[in-house]
Amino acid sequence: MTSSDFTLYFEFPDNDPENRTFKIHKLAQDSADASTEFYRFHHPVTGLKTGLTTFQRHNLKTDIFETAGQIDWLSNYNCTISFGIDEVHIRELRKMKKSSSKSRRFKAGGSEYKWKEEDKNLICVDSRGKTVATWTDKDKKLWVAGKLEPVLDRLVVSCFLNIWFLQHGQCSNMYNDISRLLVSWEA
C-alpha cells in the first residue's frame, strides 16, 4: 500500500433491505477512527423496484456535496447510470467475457478493469491483472489504489452494483439470461 492509496467505508443503514441509500466515508490514513463523509447515495423509499438513486461526492475544496450522477432503476437488475453527462447502461459496468464467468468488466478513463468475486468479497484488477481495489464485505470497506482516483466515481458505482447483485443473487441470474438474449439478438 502506497501513501496515495486510501480506504472507503460504506455505511449502510441497519435493517434496510433496499441498501440503495447509504453513505461512504473516506478513512484517514493516520487514524483508524477518523473519517470524512465522501459520498452520499439516496434512493426514495417507495416500495417499488424502480426509481432514481442519486449520488453526490464531497468537494473537499469547497466543502460542498455536488451531484456526481444517478442510477435510473428500471427493475432490480436493469438500470442506466449517469456520470454527469455520460450515460451508460448497466451492461457497460458489468460486462461478461464468457457466459459462465463470475467476473465483471468495466471501462474507465481509457482502461479496462475487472471485478472478481471471492465469496462475498470483490477484487478489482487492471488489464495486467494487478489488484487496484478490494471490497471486504465483512468490514464494508473498499481499498483503492491512489492511481484510480481520476475514475473513482465509476469504481465506486461499479463496486456498489456488484455488491447489489451479490445481495440479490436471484436477480443476477435473470440479468445474465437477459444479457445473453441481448447479445444473441444484437448478433
Which tens digits make up the pLDDT trace of 44-84? 887 788 999 999 999 999 999 999 999 999 998 899 999 99
Give the chain's residues under pLDDT 50: 170-178, 180-185, 187
C-alpha cell at position 1: 500500500
- What structural domains and CATH numbers belong to the chain? 6-186 (2.40.160)
Q: Where are the beta strands (DSSP E) in 60-130?
A: 64-73, 79-83, 86-89, 104-108, 111-118, 121-125
**What is the distance in angstroms between the CA of the first residue and the CA of the last residue of the chain?**
43
Quick check: 21 and 11 in contact, CB under 8 A? no
